[in-house]
Amino acid sequence: MTEVRDAPGESEVRFACDERFPWRRTLRLIDRAIATHRLDLTGLRVLTEAGVGYRRLTPVLAALAGAAEVYAVGRDSVTSSRRDAERQTGWLASVAGVQDRVRLFPTRLQAPLHTVDIVTDLPGVRPIDESIVRNLTAGAVVTLMRGTAAWRSPDVDVGSCRRAGIPVAGLDEDAVGLYRWTALTAVHALLGLGIEIAGSTLAVAGDGPAYGHVARALAQLGARVFVVTPDNAGRVALCGGERIGRDLGDAAARSRLTEADALLACPADPTRRVIGPGAEIDARALAELAPHLAVLCLAGEVDARGLAAAALTTWPVEGPAASFDLLPQAVVGLHTAGLKVGDVMARARQRGSSPPVAEELAAAEAHAELLPKDVKPRR
């Protein structure tokens, strides 16, 4: 096995390119997920991203599932460089023995798009716009590697895809059990902040399926759980929580927040601002209400700078938490399920099914979540 030393500053295990990275366990997780989802990409070509940390797993996963070729695109970001993404992805492909089928490209347009069967909407590939669509083969498909709530038209131009006869589908994250990783992320963050879950009072603000998983996990670990949600009290009680209000602008909810040790933001809409200017409550008002409160952003948006200026502990420092930055099994599960959606659609297209039928088959066979027929742009 070739050892590649880390770049300066990359001392965390998940960024390692040597024996510190848990590559044997990671490959076992991938093999198990492929078997569970019955993912078989034999003969297919996949366009996805090269990444750092646990985000490097996807090209290797596709190759181990039998893909004829995987085109992995790295990209410079605020947290890592394209070179790091290529190095870490290439290293894992090498130890997995699939380096001959994982090809690295500096940009998505340099990949042989006319041969691609499955396009993922991961950051290295986005935006999937007209420049991509017009170069794809007639049988290509696009899989959104998250639920449709996370889809934004600047990332994936669904209109162009549909005009070109390219099926597009997302993933029903609840149906494949992925929200349990959100709950584990909450546990990880609370313990990291020194907040004992057992015996603590914790407030969860959210809607959709994720908040219930978080509330239930915290209650089972011994916390008293307040929930701020539009859902009714009966549903909240089934999760082990106590509903204290509809949203953080509710006077009843604000009065109870003074009892909480931490507030966990967990909305279904990833663009919804929970705390900040124009939101239900701003950072200064929250600090005046509960100056001891720790704020954890599991999804959505919070004004992290405003919270820091108000001397409130915030996690993570910027942006929402990503469970796949913490846990390899989270990204393995998510991306195996996402590739399965693409697999079903691509096979359907090879059999001559129309794009709408291919999408419906993915919904029936792979827990796909479909966009409306008359999609409206989401910015």
pLDDT in tens, 23-56: 999 999 999 999 999 999 999 999 999 999 999 9
- Structure confidence by residue, pLDDT tens digits, 337-353: 999 999 999 999 999 99
* Residue 61 and residue 337 in contact, taking contact as beta carbons nearer than 8 Å: no
How far, CA to CA in Å, does 362 sit from each of 80, 129, 167, 337, 342?
34, 22, 10, 11, 8
Average pLDDT over residues 305-334: 83
- Structure confidence by residue, pLDDT tens digits, 199-254: 999 999 999 889 999 999 999 999 999 999 999 999 999 999 999 999 999 999 99
Average pLDDT over residues 260-269: 94
Helices 328-350/180-192 angle, 10° precision: 160
Helices 328-350/355-365 angle, 10° precision: 140
Tokens of 123: 């950051």
Burial class (CB in 10 A: 0-12, 13-18, 19+), 81: middle
Query: Among 247, 184, 248, which Cα is nearest to 210's?
Result: 184
Helices 328-350/23-37 angle, 10° precision: 40
Give the list of residues 6+ apart from residue 28 with CB closer than 8 angstroms, or none: none
Tokens of 52: 């750092």
Query: Among 332, 340, 276, which Cα is nearest to 305's?
Result: 276
Give the list of residues 6+ apart from residue 55 with CB closer than 8 angstroms, or none: 49, 85, 324, 325, 331
Give the DSSP letter string of 315-379.
ESSSS---GGGT-HHHHHHHHHHHHHHHHHHHHHHHTT--HHHHHHHHHHHS-EEPPPTT-----
| pLDDT confidence band for 104 (50 / 70 / 90) | very high
Query: Among 183, 239, 174, which Cα is nearest to 208's?
Result: 174
Determine the Cα–Cα distance for residues 301 and 270; give it in Å rounded to an integer: 7
Query: Among 285, 277, 283, which Cα is nearest to 295's?
Result: 283
Taking the whole predicted model, whether its pTM rises above 0.85 is answered as yes
- Structure confidence by residue, pLDDT tens digits, 109-157: 999 999 999 999 999 999 999 999 999 999 999 999 999 988 999 999 9
pLDDT of residue 31: 98
pLDDT of residue 80: 83
Determine the Cα–Cα distance for residues 98 and 177; give it in Å rounded to an integer: 29
Tell me which of 152 and 377 has the higher pLDDT.
152
Tokens of 219: 């209650």
pLDDT of residue 150: 87
Residue 5 has pLDDT above 70, yes or no: no
Determine the Cα–Cα distance for residues 61 and 76; give it in Å rounded to an integer: 22
Query: C-alpha angle with apex 108: 6 to 348, nearest 5 degrees?
Result: 115
Q: Which domains does the chain have, with CATH numbers?
A: 13-166+327-369 (3.40.50.720), 180-324 (3.40.50.720)
Query: Among 87, 86, 79, which Cα is nearest to 17's?
Result: 87
Determine the Cα–Cα distance for residues 240 and 321; give it in Å rounded to an integer: 23
pLDDT of residue 227: 98
How far, CA to CA in Å, does 55 sit from each of 68, 124, 299, 335?
21, 11, 18, 10
